[in-house]
Amino acid sequence: MAAADPFHSICQIRTTSGEYNIASLPALEKAGLAKLSELPFSIRVLLEACLRKVDEFVVTSEHVRQVAGWNAAAPAQIEIPFFPGRVVLQDFTGVPAVVDLAALRSAMQRMSKDPRKINPLVQCDLVIDHSVQVDYFGTEQSLQQNIDLEFERNLERYQLLRWAQQAFSNFGVVPPATGIVHQVNLEYLAKGVLTEDGFAFPDSLVGTDSHTTMINGLGVVGWGVGGIEAEAVMLGQPIYMLMPEVVGFKLTGKLPEGATATDLVLTVTQMLRKHGVVGKFVEFFGTGLSSMSLADRATIANMAPEYGATIGFFPVDAETLRYMRRTGRTDAEVELVETYYKAQGLFRTDETPDPKFTSTLSLDLSTVVPSMAGPKRPQDRVLLTDMKSQWHSDLAKAFGKTEPAQPVKVGHNGSSYEISDGAVVIAAITSCTNTSNPSVMIGAGLLARNAVKKGLTRKPWVKTSLAPGSRVVTDYLAKTGLDQPLDQLGFNTVGYGCTTCIGNSGPLPDEVSKAIRDGNLVAAAVLSGNRNFEGRINADVKANYLASPPLVVAYAIAGTTDIDLTKDPIGTGSSGEAVYLKDIWPSSKEIEAAIEAAITPDVFQREYGAATKGPEEWQKIGGASGDLYQWDTKSTYVQEPPFFVDMPATPSPITSIHNARCLLSVGDSVTTDHISPAGNIKATSPAGLFLQSEGVKPIDFNSYGARRGNDRVMTRGTFANIRLKNLLCPGTEGGVTVHFGTGEQMSVYDASIKYKAEGTPLVVLAGAEYGTGSSRDWAAKGTYLLGIKVVIATSFERIHRSNLVGMGVLPLQFREGESREHLGLDGTEVFDVQLDDSLKPLQPVEVMAHKADGTMISFVCTCRIDTPVEVEYYRNGGILHKVLRQLAAE
Cα–Cα distance between 443 and 437 in angstroms, integer?
Answer: 10
Q: Are 261 and 434 in contact (CB under 8 A)?
A: yes
Asked if residue 632 is part of any domain, the answer here is no
Residue 654 and residue 550 share a domain: no
Short-list 126, 128, 172, 165, CA closest to 150: 128
Residue 484 and residue 430 share a domain: yes
Question: What CATH number corresponds to the domain at position 772?
Answer: 3.20.19.10
Residue 441 and residue 544 share a domain: yes
Asked if residue 842 is part of any domain, the answer here is yes
Q: Are 464 and 496 in contact (CB under 8 A)?
A: no
Domain that includes residue 488, residue range: 371-598
Asked if residue 603 is part of any domain, the answer here is no
Letter for the amino acid at 724? L
Q: How far is CA 676 from CA 633, 643, 673, 720, 767, in A?
A: 24, 18, 5, 8, 18
Q: What are phi and psi of 792, to 5 degrees?
A: -110, 115
Neighbouring-strand partners of residue 710: none
**Whole-prediction pTM value?**
0.90
Helix, strand, or coil (residue 129): coil
| pLDDT at site 2 | 55
Question: What confidence tens digit (pLDDT) does each residue in 113-157 have?
Answer: 999 999 999 999 999 999 999 999 999 999 999 999 999 989 999
Residue 735 and residue 587 share a domain: no
Q: Are 634 and 174 in contact (CB under 8 A)?
A: no
Question: What confidence tens digit (pLDDT) does each residue in 487-502 have?
Answer: 999 999 999 999 998 8
Q: Are 37 and 353 in contact (CB under 8 A)?
A: yes
- Side-chain-side CA neighbours of residue 68 (13 Å): 22
Q: How far is CA 232 from CA 171, 344, 831, in A?
A: 15, 28, 31
Residue 571 and residue 657 share a domain: no
DSSP state of 291: G
Helix, strand, or coil (residue 812): strand
Tell me if the bond preceding 375 is cis, omega within 30° of 0: yes
Question: What CATH number corresponds to the domain at position 432?
Answer: 3.30.499.10
782-816 as b/e: b if 16+ CB within 10 A: bbbbbbbbbbbbbbbbbbbbbbbbbbbbbbbbbee
Q: Are 464 and 556 in contact (CB under 8 A)?
A: yes
| pLDDT at site 776 | 77
Say whether pLDDT at 319 is over 90. Answer: yes
Find all residues with CB under 8 Å of 29, minimum gap 6, and list them.
35, 36, 345
Q: How far is CA 125 from CA 188, 240, 492, 637, in A?
A: 11, 22, 29, 21
Taking the alpha carbons of 862, 868, 872, 878 in that order, is the dihedral positive or negative?
Answer: negative
Question: What confidence tens digit (pLDDT) does each residue in 167-210 have?
Answer: 999 999 999 999 999 999 999 999 999 999 999 999 999 998 98
Say whether pLDDT at 773 is over 80. Answer: no
Letter for the amino acid at 616? E
Asked if residue 744 is part of any domain, the answer here is yes
Asked if residue 857 is part of any domain, the answer here is yes
- Which of 544, 573, 598 finishes a domain? 598
Cα–Cα distance between 40 and 348 in angstroms, integer?
Answer: 11
Cα–Cα distance between 242 and 244 in angstroms, integer?
Answer: 6
Per the structure, the count of domains in the chain is 2
Q: Where are the beta strands (DSSP E) in 721-843?
A: 736-739, 744-747, 762-766, 788-793, 810-814, 830-833
Greatest alpha-carbon span in the chain: 89
Say whether pLDDT at 774 is over 80. Answer: no
Say whether pLDDT at 782 is over 90. Answer: yes
- Which of 545, 580, 598 finishes a domain? 598
659-693 as b/e: b if 16+ CB within 10 A: ebbbbbbbbeebbbbbbbbbeebbeebbbbbbbee
Q: Are 624 and 157 in contact (CB under 8 A)?
A: no
Query: CA dihedral in degrees (143, 148, 154, 155; nearest 10)?
Result: 140
Residue 578 and residue 657 share a domain: no
- Mean pLDDT on 677-686: 89
CB atoms within 10 A of CB 765: 28
Cα–Cα distance between 442 and 754 in angstroms, integer?
Answer: 60
Say whether pLDDT at 811 is over 80. Answer: yes
Q: Give the DSSP letter string of 609-657.
A: HTTTT--HHHHT--S--SSS----TT-SS----GGGTT--SSPPPP--E
Question: What confidence tens digit (pLDDT) does each residue in 441-462 have?
Answer: 999 999 999 999 999 999 999 9
| pLDDT at site 93 | 86
Short-list 783, 635, 763, 645, CA closest to 715: 783
Torsion region of 877: left, alpha or beta (phi above 0 gives left; psi -120 to 50 gives alpha)? left
Q: Quote the distance between the C-alpha of residue 268 and its chain's center.
A: 20
Q: How far is CA 273 from CA 181, 279, 380, in A?
A: 26, 12, 10
Question: What confidence tens digit (pLDDT) does each residue in 708-749 have?
Answer: 999 999 999 999 988 899 999 999 999 999 999 999 999 999
CB atoms within 10 A of CB 155: 13
Say whether pLDDT at 3 is over 70. Answer: no
Residue 658 and residue 578 share a domain: no
Say whether pLDDT at 415 is over 90. Answer: no
Average pLDDT along the chain = 95
Say whether pLDDT at 703 is over 90. Answer: no
Residue 590 and residue 656 share a domain: no
Question: What confidence category does residue 534 fall into, taking pLDDT thresholds of 50, 70 and 90?
Answer: confident
Cα–Cα distance between 208 and 320 in angstroms, integer?
Answer: 25
Q: How far is CA 752 from CA 464, 640, 715, 718, 739, in A?
A: 47, 20, 10, 11, 8
Short-list 546, 734, 743, CA closest to 661: 743
Question: What confidence category does residue 241 fall into, taking pLDDT thresholds of 50, 70 and 90?
Answer: confident
Q: Quote the distance between the C-alpha of residue 436 and its chain's center.
A: 17
The percent of residues in the chain predicted with pLDDT above 70, rounded, is 99
Q: Give the DSSP letter string of 409-454.
A: EEEETTEEEEE-TTBEEEEEE-SHHHHT-HHHHHHHHHHHHHHHHT
Question: What confidence tens digit (pLDDT) does each residue in 259-288 have?
Answer: 999 999 999 999 999 999 988 999 999 999
| pLDDT at site 672 | 87
Residue 522 and residue 648 share a domain: no
Short-list 59, 48, 89, 1, CA closest to 239: 59
* Helices vs. strands in the chain: H and E counts, helices first: 32, 34
Q: Are 552 and 444 in contact (CB under 8 A)?
A: yes
Cα–Cα distance between 77 and 866 in angstroms, integer?
Answer: 13
Find all residues with CB under 8 Å of 87, minimum gap 6, and list them.
120, 122, 123, 124, 125, 205, 206, 207, 208, 230, 233, 234
Cα–Cα distance between 337 and 443 in angstroms, integer?
Answer: 31
Asked if residue 270 is part of any domain, the answer here is no
Q: Where are the beta strands (DSSP E) in 499-585?
A: 524-527, 543-546, 571-572, 578-579
Find all residues with CB under 8 Å of 624, minimum gap 6, and list them.
159, 160, 162, 163, 166, 630
- Which of 598, 630, 651 finishes a domain? 598
Residue 869 and residue 745 share a domain: yes
| pLDDT at site 376 | 92
Mean pLDDT lowest among 316-330, 525-539, 586-600: 525-539
Residue 566 and residue 493 share a domain: yes
Asked if residue 329 is part of any domain, the answer here is no
Question: What confidence category does residue 1 fall into, taking pLDDT thresholds of 50, 70 and 90?
Answer: low
- Mean pLDDT on 635-656: 95
Q: Are 792 and 812 in contact (CB under 8 A)?
A: yes
Long-range contacts (CB closer than 8 Å, 24 or more residues apart) made by 577-584: 579/451, 579/454, 579/456, 581/554, 583/450, 583/454, 584/447, 584/450, 584/451, 584/454, 584/456, 584/554
Taking the alpha carbons of 255, 256, 257, 263 in that order, is the dihedral positive or negative?
Answer: negative
| pLDDT at site 775 | 60
Say whether pLDDT at 828 is over 60. Answer: yes
Torsion region of 198: left, alpha or beta (phi above 0 gives left; psi -120 to 50 gives alpha)? left
Cα–Cα distance between 172 and 813 in angstroms, integer?
Answer: 40
Asked if residue 306 is part of any domain, the answer here is no
Q: Are 328 and 472 in contact (CB under 8 A)?
A: no
- Side-chain-side CA neighbours of residue 588 (13 Å): 8
Say whether pLDDT at 333 is over 70. Answer: yes
Residue 648 and residue 542 share a domain: no
Neighbouring-strand partners of residue 746: 737
Mean pLDDT lowest among 565-574, 678-687, 710-719: 678-687
- Mean pLDDT on 857-864: 97
Long-range contacts (CB closer than 8 Å, 24 or more residues apart) made by 203-206: 203/85, 203/86, 204/45, 204/49, 204/82, 204/84, 204/85, 204/86, 205/84, 205/85, 205/86, 205/87, 205/88, 206/84, 206/87, 206/88, 206/230, 206/233, 206/239
